[in-house]
Each structure stands twice: as structure tokens, then as C-alpha cells.
């Protein structure tokens, strides 16, 4: 666990609007991570970006401090100016070893989330790790860590009330949208067909909204969500020429530049002067700042949900100690497992060595004596040696584990 390092930029120290500057475009994310992995001698790495955090999880013997973080972020080509880089680095949280493990467990259990008790973060964390694994960026060390992360989160959500009557950024956004009292036949444009928009669409559909148009960079994904909603599917580029009007826009993409520019917004309005609603849950925002400056818009974004999130934390505060106790227990169990694993790795050659000794004894050292035995005697000898072989393998392993575990 001593090689586990985390570089975290979160809503606790950084404005959500600013966090978007650290988001890496998905199209070249894998290539960039492979490049820094080689350049900085990182054994394993994956990248997590949500609406309230950007984090890099590493397994590396390298010293990870502010200077490392600066070189690392610069190598990713995010394009921060000197002042912005300094601001982010001053606000960064860098964890290693036990503290890094605790941070990952707290994150997976939503204790570090903007909305404590939301379960989406576990799915987001697993998806981030799975993407890294599939890209060949992670290996065995982060695998066993993620096993513990998932196990712990499931226990917290099962054995505490921290997620009772669960709310999330999506549900909070829908509550604010509901307060605007849109009619059920309101024309809703959904931009992006990812998990966040799928989730908020379920709320809309549940409350009888039925007029949907889904836009996505990959048309097949737009079609899948549109089919679920009984709506129409379009490619993202079709926003520029869409003329059927709208009452509300729900947008959440992984784009690093605004999707809804003043030009596109004006085109979507097509002369309509009614006040519209935009729910923008993307980090960075999909809506250009100029749109909000030039048009009268009901605008709902992640940043605006802070006050509701704080109230939610107060309501769940008494459950935090229960969750933290589960986290501590799992860390202790994980440390024991790591020690046992070290023994297993150190002694993995023992079985082969014992088999070699046995083979040499039977076929060389005592070959004549063994051959002189009758069939029944050789069968008895075989049984005795099989028994002894198993004991010579298992007993030292058990004793070594006990010595190591009890030595502290």
C-alpha cells in the first residue's frame, strides 16, 4: 500500500466551475495517461472525473508532492496558465499509503461527495478503474485495492442509513426543475446520453414528461436513450440546424468546450422569446457564459445545489461515525490481507521446491530402495509422501503468516 498515491482536486477546495479546467477530453485520455505513465515511471494509473472532483490514482514508488503534481499536470497538456496552475496546486490534496486508501474508501462511500449518501460515486469510481484496466493502465496492485474499495462501499450503503431516502446531484437538480412547474408536454432537449442524463430522464419520464429529443456525439447511444423515452434521436451536430423549438434543455457531456454557444442557442430559439430552462450538470459547463449573459434563462447547475447539499449533510451527520467505523475495519482487514499476500508471494516457490525434493528422493537418492518394495508398500509410501508434502507446504505458510501478522 505504500506505493498508493492520489492527487485529488475536489469541490472542498476548488469552485466547481473552476474544476472543469482540469477535465481531460475523453478522446485522447488513454494516450495521455499512457504517456505520463511511461514518463514518470508510474506502475499503474487511472483517472476519475465527476461533477465535483478530478482525481488521479497512482501506484508508483516515485515521490508524489507538489513539484511532481505540477510536472504531472503540465505533461497532460491540459493547458493551464501559470496562475491557474499555482491556484490548483495550492488547493490539491495529495495522499499516500494509508491516507490514500482511507481517501478512496471515504470517496467510494460518498463521505467526500457534494451530496453525502449518493451512490453514483461508487459506479463512477468503478467505471474509471475499469476504463483504466481495459486500457492496460492498471495491474494487480490497484485491482486488490479496488476490491476493498467496492466491498467497503457496499457495506456502508447496506449497514448504515447514510443512503436512506437517497438523493443525488441528479435528484437535487430535478427538484429545482420541478419547482419551475413545466407542463408535462414541455419540449425537452437532452444533450448527452451518458449516465447522468439517463438518470435525470428517468425522473422526467416518471413525472409524465413525454416530448424528448436526444442529441449525442454517438448516434447509436442517442437512439438507445430516445427509444427508452419514446423520443427522437439526433447526432450532436444536428443541434446547429434543429428548428422544432424547446422549453427546456438537459445537458451533461464530457466536452471540454461549451456545447451550447450563443450561436447555437439563438438558432434553437428560432425567434422564440419565451424564457427557457437549462439544466447543465456538466463539469465544465456545456453552456457558454455568454448565453446566460445575453438571454433570460432559468439556469440550474451543480454549483447552485450547494445549499441543498449542505442541508443533506446535516441530516445524515449522525450516520458518518457508523460509516467511518466500517471504513476503519476494512482498512485493518486489508492490511492483514496484504501481509498474507506478501507471504504467499514470497513463498510461492515452496511447493515446487518440495516437489523437486520429493522427485529427487524417489528417483535418485532412494531409487533402489523404492524399486525393491512390493506394490502395496510403494502405495503406502506414496500416501505417506503425499501427506508429508501437503504438510511441508501448508505448515510453514501458516506459521509465516502468523509470525508476520502477530509481529506488530
Active site positions, annotated: 51
50 is in an annotated binding site: yes
Q: Which residues fall within 8 angstroms of residue 215, CB to CB, at 6 or more apart?
A: 189, 190, 191, 192, 222, 234, 235, 236, 238, 239, 242
The secondary structure of 96-121 as a DSSP string is EHHHHHHHHHHHHTTTTSSSTT-SHH
Hey, what's the cell of 299?
439556469
Whether residue 194 is annotated as binding a ligand: the answer is yes
Contact 276, 304 (CB under 8 A): no
The verdict on whether residue 75 carries a ligand-binding annotation is no
139 is in an annotated binding site: no
Rounded (10°) angle between helices 169-179 and 195-206: 40
Output the CA angle 22-128-225, nearest 5 degrees.
95
Pairing of strands 297-301, 44-50: unpaired
97 and 4 in contact (C-beta within 8 Å)?
yes
52 labelled ligand-binding: yes
Instruction: Please check if 132 is assigned to a binding site.
Output: no
CA distance 312 to 167: 8
C-alpha cell read off for 363? 528417483
Residue 19's CB: how many other CB atoms inside 10 A? 25
* Four-point Cα dihedral 258, 260, 264, 267, nearest 10: -170
Q: Does 53 show up as a binding residue in the annotation? A: yes
Known binder of ligand: residue 192?
yes
Stretch (H or E) spanning 5:
strand 4-10
The answer to the question of whether 51 is labelled as a binding residue is yes
Residue 334 half-sphere exposure toward CB, CA atoms < 13 A: 25
DSSP sequence for 337-381: HHHHHHHHHHTTTHHHHHHHHHHHIIIIITHHHHHHS-HHHHHHH
**Nearest Cα residue to 251 out of 193, 167, 184:** 193
Q: Is 118 annotated as a binding residue?
A: yes
Annotated binding-site residue numbers: 50-53, 113, 118-120, 124, 192-197
Annotated binding-site residue numbers for substrate: 50-53, 113, 118-120, 124
Annotated binding-site residue numbers for NADP(+): 192-197
Amino acid at each position: 500500500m505504500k506505493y498508493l498515491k492520489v492527487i485529488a482536486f475536489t469541490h472542498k477546495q476548488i469552485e466547481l466551475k473552476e474544476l472543469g479546467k482540469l477535465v481531460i477530453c475523453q478522446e485522447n485520455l488513454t494516450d495521455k495517461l499512457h504517456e505520463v505513465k511511461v514518463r514518470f515511471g508510474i506502475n499503474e494509473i487511472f483517472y476519475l472525473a465527476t461533477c465535483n472532483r478530478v482525481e488521479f490514482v497512482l501506484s508508483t514508488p516515485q515521490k508524489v508532492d507538489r513539484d511532481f503534481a505540477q510536472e504531472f499536470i503540465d505533461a497532460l497538456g491540459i493547458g493551464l496558465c501559470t496562475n491557474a496552475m499555482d491556484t490548483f496546486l495550492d488547493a490539491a490534496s495529495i495522499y499516500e499509503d494509508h491516507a490514500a486508501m482511507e481517501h478512496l474508501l471515504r470517496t467510494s462511500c460518498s463521505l467526500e461527495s457534494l451530496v453525502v449518501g449518493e451512490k453514483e460515486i461508487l459506479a463512477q469510481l468503478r467505471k474509471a478503474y475499469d476504463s483504466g484496466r481495459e486500457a492496460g493502465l492498471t495491474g494487480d496492485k490497484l485491482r486488490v485495492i479496488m476490491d476493498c474499495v467496492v466491498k467497503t462501499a457496499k457495506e456502508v450503503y447496506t449497514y448504515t442509513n447514510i443512503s436512506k431516502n437517497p438523493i443525488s446531484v441528479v435528484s437535487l437538480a430535478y427538484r429545482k426543475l420541478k419547482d419551475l412547474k413545466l407542463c408535462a408536454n414541455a419540449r425537452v432537449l437532452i444533450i448527452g446520453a451518458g449516465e447522468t442524463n439517463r438518470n435525470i430522464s428517468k425522473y422526467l419520464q416518471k413525472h409524465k414528461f413525454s416530448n424528448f429529443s436526444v442529441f449525442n456525439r454517438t448516434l447509436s447511444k442517442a437512439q438507445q436513450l430516445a427509444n427508452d423515452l419514446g423520443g427522437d434521436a439526433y447526432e450532436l451536430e444536428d443541434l446547429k440546424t434543429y428548428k422544432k423549438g424547446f422549453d427546456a434543455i438537459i445537458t451533461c457531456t464530457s466536452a471540454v468546450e461549451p456545447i451550447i454557444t450563443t450561436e447555437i442557442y439563438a438558432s434553437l430559439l428560432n425567434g422564440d422569446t419565451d424564457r427557457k430552462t437549462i439544466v447543465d450538470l456538466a463539469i465544465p459547463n456545456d453552456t457558454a457564459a455568454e448565453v446566460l449573459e445575453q438571454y433570460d434563462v432559468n439556469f440550474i447547475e451543480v454549483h447552485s445545489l450547494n445549499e441543498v447539499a449542505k442541508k443533506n449533510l446535516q441530516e445524515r451527520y449522525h450516520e458518518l461515525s457508523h460509516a467511518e467505523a466500517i471504513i476503519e475495519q476494512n482498512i485493518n482487514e486489508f492490511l492483514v490481507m496484504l501481509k498474507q499476500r506478501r507471504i504467499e508471494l514470497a513463498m510461492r516457490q515452496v511447493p515446487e521446491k518440495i516437489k523437486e525434493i520429493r522427485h529427487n528422493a524417489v528417483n535418485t537418492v532412494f531409487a533402489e530402495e523404492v524399486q525393491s518394495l512390493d506394490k502395496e508398500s510403494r502405495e503406502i509410501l506414496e500416501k505417506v509422501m503425499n501427506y508429508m508434502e501437503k504438510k511441508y507446504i501448508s505448515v510453514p505458510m501458516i506459521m509465516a503468516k502468523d509470525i508476520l501478522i502477530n509481529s506488530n
